[in-house]
Amino acid sequence: MKFVYADNAATTKMSEASKQALIQTIDNYGNPSSLHNMGVKAFYAIDEARNKIAKALGSAGNELYFTSGGSESDNWAIKGFAENMKKKGKNHIISSAFEHHGILHTLSALEKQGFEVTYLPVYQDGYVRIDDLKAAITDKTGLVTIMYANNEIGTIQPISEIGSVCREKGIVFHTDAVQAVGHVEIDVKKQNIDLLSLSAHKFHGPKGIGALYIRKGILLSNLLEGGAQERGKRAGTENTASVVAAAVALEEALTDLDEKNKRVAAMRDRLIDGLLKIERSRLNGSRSPRLAGNVSVCFEGVEGEALLLSLDLVGISASSGSACTSGSLDPSHVLLALGLPHEIAHGSLRLSLSEYNSEEDVDYILSVIPGIIERLRDMSPVWEDIKENESKETKDTKKDN
Amino acid sequence: MKFVYADNAATTKMSEASKQALIQTIDNYGNPSSLHNMGVKAFYAIDEARNKIAKALGSAGNELYFTSGGSESDNWAIKGFAENMKKKGKNHIISSAFEHHGILHTLSALEKQGFEVTYLPVYQDGYVRIDDLKAAITDKTGLVTIMYANNEIGTIQPISEIGSVCREKGIVFHTDAVQAVGHVEIDVKKQNIDLLSLSAHKFHGPKGIGALYIRKGILLSNLLEGGAQERGKRAGTENTASVVAAAVALEEALTDLDEKNKRVAAMRDRLIDGLLKIERSRLNGSRSPRLAGNVSVCFEGVEGEALLLSLDLVGISASSGSACTSGSLDPSHVLLALGLPHEIAHGSLRLSLSEYNSEEDVDYILSVIPGIIERLRDMSPVWEDIKENESKETKDTKKDN
Amino acid sequence: MAYSDLVMEHFKNPRNVGKIDDADGIGEVGNAKCGDIMKMYIKVKDDIITDVKFNTYGCASAIATSSIATEMIKGKPLDEALKLTNKAVVEALDGLPAVKVHCSVLAEQAIKAAIADYYKRKGIEKEVDTSCGEGHCCCNRQD
Amino acid sequence: MAYSDLVMEHFKNPRNVGKIDDADGIGEVGNAKCGDIMKMYIKVKDDIITDVKFNTYGCASAIATSSIATEMIKGKPLDEALKLTNKAVVEALDGLPAVKVHCSVLAEQAIKAAIADYYKRKGIEKEVDTSCGEGHCCCNRQD
Ligand SMILES: Cc1ncc(COP(=O)(O)O)c(C=O)c1O
Ligand SMILES: Cc1ncc(COP(=O)(O)O)c(C=O)c1O
């Protein structure tokens, strides 16, 4: 059976170069805090990786701190800066309605502590509006946190504009760039980003390693107290191998990025066009600007999990926004934030491509999806109702004529 | 040149089996939260690893939560339970004077928030006393956190006794067992341990992966908010490969543990005996109970870093408690807690062996250390003073006679 | 979260899918807002369920519980079918992930609703408990 | 933290280690509590440092800074030696980790203390600033 991995927004396959770097670095097992030669070697390996990643973001090595992934970076950025805000008498944070749970749940925790949070709407097209941002700012606002690109629908937010507004107003700007790093060009200095979260497993690096960019001069309290690692800001014996592998993966991801993105976007567009030919389907969020690999569609009368498991049975790994694992009966908060009704949001499918996908993958996906949807709709009482209403309407229209 | 790695308390070389498990699992790259086959495979791999590790600790799989390492586990246990204490009107925590910084710095952060912390003394032998513990308990005490074995001097604390006292008094007991797991037999149920931190890189597993055992019924607030991973208690895409490799490493470490420990302890004892033959040397902490691999000695008139770098030049990786990297001029807080004067504590050397070391390693270490110490003492004004005082005393004694 | 092999088997090859045009009773439960709707059709002869079919909109476990539930009541007397519990359905499938147990409740309710409908059509006065016992909010269709 | 190759070279093969039994000046700074003591011996002829030796108890960078500092003043006039700054020592070693910069201060102070001792023995009235300029607390021996 053909196998197509189209769940790259969930996680990616490690690149061969990154994997080899990991394996090799494992043998250089010294603790980077140890003073002997093995430790010093590890120390330098981390230093080099840090500088590489920092450079790729337009920042300096001493502004980059390694973490265990995107969630930790998000938690640290927000909780850490919130402590700072308290001291300055600020208590208002601006975010968006469709952030990742790493942000949203952290913000809820802060709300319980008395912080106030404004969640900007993202409208049907999936973008925050600069005017909404400006209108939300008060003299109590200390932090704006808006994701770079949405993980479910791939829409890329107006980060540079948000950065300008925040810098002008003296508000610190964090962006959860977990879906963006390695996929779009980022320059934290030019874009006036103060804090940025990234996670290596989203760009063909290892899982369990991420980083937080902290612009020089921004003070965060520590989330993980302890040893003097990461210049005293993040305790824990450094994961040298993963750090090195992350840097290799990022370097590789950014090589010929435009070219790769063009190729991936062409596949994405062919997928979108093909899927939208299916009756009662719709694209979630605007077509552009959108991550080169993101396809997010809803099919009426079909439930997302059943759809993705059907795809899995024919070798296609995909995802649905229907939050099946979360224990909630609600569909994804992202799709609801776009204003989709529950019953439509339940029918969502996310296909996320990477440069490892091929045109044949697209052909294959397009060849099997219509049949799967037909099968599921055939047994769906919801679809039956839709069809009945349709024919009633046709009759009504006929009557009206 | 011969190479001897004797810094296993800092970190260990990955076992071949653990490394192979890591490499193989990397190819099973699905996100464990994904519903498709690749995700499910990863989910089961984690489940199996979780059960293996839990079983090795005498706990159930649903009581074990993966983290990024010992520091995160320590921070989570203490900060997470502190939130719970607040709700119950408790504000007193008991710890020891020579905990790891992952504990001590977390406790300082809580002290700033109004918590009160009692640091039990550890005396010259390096153990907390049960009577001290009992005397420290008040009706405000909610948590006791005492490390299982000390990372610098290897003394193993009376964990079962501490567990009994705490259980009797209804106080939650956390132990930082980062140095103990994989090296001594642990049974959290029998020992009445409620919370336990571990880190895989201390038992030939990968770096950047650890766990927190949370006894069923103990409520901790989350440290990392976000996705529903780890049953909603610890967000972040799971590091499947490292989790699997950690379980493999632990299983291996515990196989024939007694036998291995006997062999390692014999090497340790030979090292201690050999080093104590050097003039003006002393063992830090009592000889027993002590981790099978730990040798911690002080040499008067010699500074620890110079000693360990000299050892490094002849191929021996060791460590000193002199906190060289921490930016502090003070020697290790552990050695000071034993009551050692600063000038002696500065001359400390830690050699930490594992089952990967050989008798030849011991021979080699013992063959080179005396010469190195002699060379350093020869250029040491402190040693000069010591010798001058000695000869004065001898003269004085002669006069007295 | 992961499904048992049996759940996947019933999802792949659901038994008794379809409609019965001349059904003696039809039950429909769940609502699209929550992502699950089950519609159960029964033919009854001499108080025996001679045929049963279902249509389901929902996740894999909703389809699998519908499928196995129809198998469990086909050829059974109504009284026995009314005794089918969601627990029995879960067990028959070798378990369900905790977050999916509500699907088994839906299956139980769909059967009860179909039988209640049958009694109603026949004018038989019989209490059928179609309330949603275990605190699940999504058992009643309310589009 | 990692040392430059030059620091390691001076640590491995320190220059001018030892004592001068008939020294014209001896300076000792640092204290064992802080982990570093430097003792500097000088021979002086016609205001020129003709020989210099040191003994140091301390970390690798303490030994390396002592070593290079002795090299930097050997054969130099006293006035010039007094102008040797800790910065110059750090630069000569291709840098020191931030937490080790205090060692270079010690080296500077040890030289000054030795020269001050020389002046004192000779009865020469000359101010030598042996205070610890940059906020380091461990420059004065106080066992
Ligand atoms: C006793 C003890 N606790 C905690 C830690 C921290 O573990 P990690 O470095 O995995 O965060 C260590 C080792 O570094 C340790 O020895
Ligand atoms: C936008 C976004 N933020 C944060 C995260 C969390 O990253 P991680 O799983 O590495 O903790 C993810 C992915 O899971 C994400 O897509």
Q: What is the pLDDT along chain B (401 residues), one digit of tens a residue?
A: 899 999 999 999 999 999 999 999 999 999 999 989 999 999 999 999 999 999 999 999 999 999 999 999 999 999 999 999 999 999 999 999 999 999 999 999 999 999 999 999 999 999 999 999 999 999 999 999 999 999 999 999 999 999 999 999 999 999 999 999 999 999 999 999 999 999 999 999 999 999 999 999 999 999 999 988 999 999 999 999 999 999 999 999 999 999 999 999 999 999 999 999 999 999 999 999 999 999 999 999 999 999 999 999 999 999 986 444 444 567 899 999 999 999 999 999 999 999 999 999 999 999 999 999 999 999 999 999 999 999 998 887 776 65
Ligand nearest to the CA of B149: 1
A314 pLDDT above the threshold of 50 = yes
DSSP secondary structure letter of residue A14: P
**Amino acid identity, residue A197?**
S
The answer to whether A65 faces chain B, any CB pair under 8 Å, is no
Contact assessment for residue A306 and residue C11, using Cβ atoms and an 8 Å cutoff: yes
Query: Could you confirm whether D103 is annotated as catalytic?
Result: yes
Cα–ligand 2 centroid distance for D81 (angstroms): 59
Q: Do B44 and C2 touch (CB under 8 A)?
A: yes
**Residues in Cβ contact with A297 at an 8 Å cutoff, skipping those fewer than 6 apart:** A272, A275, A276, A281, A282, A283, A284, A348, A349
Structure token digits, residue B141: 């005490």
A13 pLDDT above the threshold of 90 = yes
Cα–ligand 1 centroid distance for A343 (angstroms): 49
Beta-ladder partners of C40:
C27, C54
**At least 3 CB pairs under 8 A between chains C and B:** yes
Residues from chain C that touch B40, judged by Cβ atoms under 8 A, are 2-3
Q: Tell whether ligand 2 has an atom less than 6 A from the beta carbon of residue A71.
A: yes
Q: For residue B401, what pLDDT is reported? A: 59
Among the partner residues C8, C12, C60, nearest to A305 by beta-carbon distance: C60
The full DSSP string for B112-137 is HTT-EEEEE--TTTT---HHHHHHH-
pLDDT tens column, B222-245: 999 998 899 999 999 999 999 999
From A99, A104, A151, mutation site for ligand 2 pocket: most ligand atoms within 8 A of C-beta: A151
Q: Tell whether ligand 2 has an atom less than 6 A from the beta carbon of residue A205.
A: no
The answer to whether A240 faces chain D, any CB pair under 8 Å, is no
Cα–ligand 1 centroid distance for B130 (angstroms): 24
Q: Which chain B residue has the Cα nearest residue C98?
A: B231
C130 pLDDT above the threshold of 80 = no
Helices within A57-123 (DSSP H only):
70-87, 101-112
Distance CA A157, CA D52 (A): 67
Among the partner residues C55, C137, C138, nearest to A381 by beta-carbon distance: C55
Q: Å from C85 to nearest chain A CA?
A: 22
Q: Exposed, middle or buried by CB within 10 Å (0-12, 13-18, 19+), for B397?
A: exposed
**At least 3 CB pairs under 8 A between chains D and C:** no
The answer to whether A35 faces chain C, any CB pair under 8 Å, is no
Residues from chain C that touch A304, judged by Cβ atoms under 8 A, are 59
Q: Å from B45 to nearest chain C CA?
A: 12
Q: For residue C133, what pLDDT is reported? A: 54
Helices and strands, number each (H, E), in chain B: 14, 12
Structure token digits, residue A321: 């926004």
Ligand nearest to the CA of A67: 2
Q: Tell whether ligand 2 has an atom less than 6 A from the beta carbon of residue A348.
A: no
Q: Tell whether ligand 2 has an atom less than 6 A from the beta carbon of residue A147.
A: yes
The answer to whether D98 faces chain A, any CB pair under 8 Å, is no
pLDDT tens column, B135-165: 999 999 999 999 999 999 999 999 999 999 9
Closest CA to B173 of B93, B67, B75: B93
Closest CA to B25 of B44, B40, B13, B42: B42
The answer to whether A299 faces chain C, any CB pair under 8 Å, is no
Residue C8 CA neighbour count, 13 Å, CB half:
14
Residues from chain D that touch B318, judged by Cβ atoms under 8 A, are none
A329 pLDDT above the threshold of 80 = no
pLDDT tens column, D88-131: 999 999 999 888 888 899 999 999 999 999 999 999 988 888 77
Ligand nearest to the CA of B203: 1
The answer to whether A300 faces chain C, any CB pair under 8 Å, is no
D143 pLDDT above the threshold of 80 = no
Residue whose tokens read 């490094």 = B312
**Residues in Cβ contact with D119 at an 8 Å cutoff, skipping those fewer than 6 apart:** D25, D125, D126, D128
Among the partner residues B71, B237, B325, nearest to A33 by beta-carbon distance: B325
CA-proximal residue: ligand 2, atom 16 (nearest): A151
D141 pLDDT above the threshold of 50 = no
Question: Ligand 1 pocket by C-beta < 6 Å: which residues?
Answer: A 236-237; B 69-71, 74, 100, 102, 147, 151, 176, 178-179, 199, 210
Distance CA B159, CA B164 (A): 9
**Residues in Cβ contact with A157 at an 8 Å cutoff, skipping those fewer than 6 apart:** A96, A127, A128, A146, A147, A148, A149, A150, A175
Percentage of residues in chain D having pLDDT higher than 70: 90
Q: Tell whether ligand 2 has an atom less than 6 A from the beta carbon of residue A294.
A: no
Query: pLDDT-based confidence at C98, cuts 50/70/90?
Result: confident
Chain A to chain C, count of Cβ pairs less than 8 Å apart? 75
The answer to whether A62 faces chain D, any CB pair under 8 Å, is no
Contact assessment for residue B295 and residue B185, using Cβ atoms and an 8 Å cutoff: no
Strand B348-352: give its sheet, edge to edge.
Answer: B281-283, B294-299, B348-352
| Cα B179 to chain centroid, rounded | 3
**Chain B adjacent subunits, 3+ CB pairs under 8 A:** A, C, D
D10 pLDDT above the threshold of 80 = yes
Contact assessment for residue C109 and residue C116, using Cβ atoms and an 8 Å cutoff: no
Q: Which chain A residue has the Cα nearest residue D4?
A: A40
* The total number of residues written for chain C in this structure: 143
Distance CA A222, CA D18 (A): 47
Q: Do B342 and D59 touch (CB under 8 A)?
A: no
The average pLDDT across A57-79 equals 98
Residues from chain C that touch A325, judged by Cβ atoms under 8 A, are 1, 99
Distance CA A131, CA A206 (A): 38
* The total number of residues written for chain A in this structure: 401
The bridge status of strand B294-299 relative to strand B348-352 is antiparallel
Q: Å from B296 to nearest chain A CA?
A: 16
Residues from chain D that touch B384, judged by Cβ atoms under 8 A, are 55
The answer to whether B44 faces chain C, any CB pair under 8 Å, is yes
The vertex-B253 CA angle with B251 and B257, nearest 5°, equals: 110
Among the partner residues A7, A68, A102, nearest to B68 by beta-carbon distance: A68
Q: For residue B329, what pLDDT is reported? A: 62
Q: Residue A62 phi/psi, 5° resolution? A: -80, 10
Q: Do A329 and C63 touch (CB under 8 A)?
A: no
Q: For residue D139, what pLDDT is reported? A: 45
Among the partner residues A313, A322, A381, nearest to C39 by beta-carbon distance: A381
The average pLDDT across A328-354 equals 91
The bridge status of strand B64-67 relative to strand C36-45 is unpaired
* The total number of residues written for chain B in this structure: 401
Closest CA to B102 of B189, B216, B243, B212: B212
Structure token digits, residue A187: 């320059």
pTM equals: 0.95
Distance CA B268, CA B153 (A): 12
Cα–ligand 2 centroid distance for A202 (angstroms): 8
Q: Do A320 and B35 touch (CB under 8 A)?
A: yes
Q: Which atom of ligand 1 is nearest to the CA of B151?
A: 16
Cα–ligand 1 centroid distance for B346 (angstroms): 22
Residue B102 CA neighbour count, 13 Å, CB half:
28
Distance CA D2, CA B347 (A): 20
Q: Which atom of ligand 2 is nearest to the CA of B236?
A: 11
Could you tell me which CATH number the domain at C5-122 has? 3.90.1010.10
Residue A257 CA neighbour count, 13 Å, CB half:
17
The answer to whether C21 faces chain A, any CB pair under 8 Å, is no
Q: Do A44 and D2 touch (CB under 8 A)?
A: yes
More confident residue, C128 or D118: D118
Q: Which atom of ligand 2 is nearest to the CA of B235?
A: 11
**Alpha carbon distances (Å) from B30 to A206, A314, B307, C98:** 12, 16, 48, 22
A395 pLDDT above the threshold of 70 = yes
From A209, A224, A237, mutation site for ligand 1 pocket: most ligand atoms within 8 A of C-beta: A237
Ligand nearest to the CA of A178: 2
pLDDT tens column, A91-120: 999 999 999 999 999 999 999 999 999 999
Distance CA A67, CA A71 (A): 9
D140 pLDDT above the threshold of 60 = no
Residue whose tokens read 């336990």 = B196
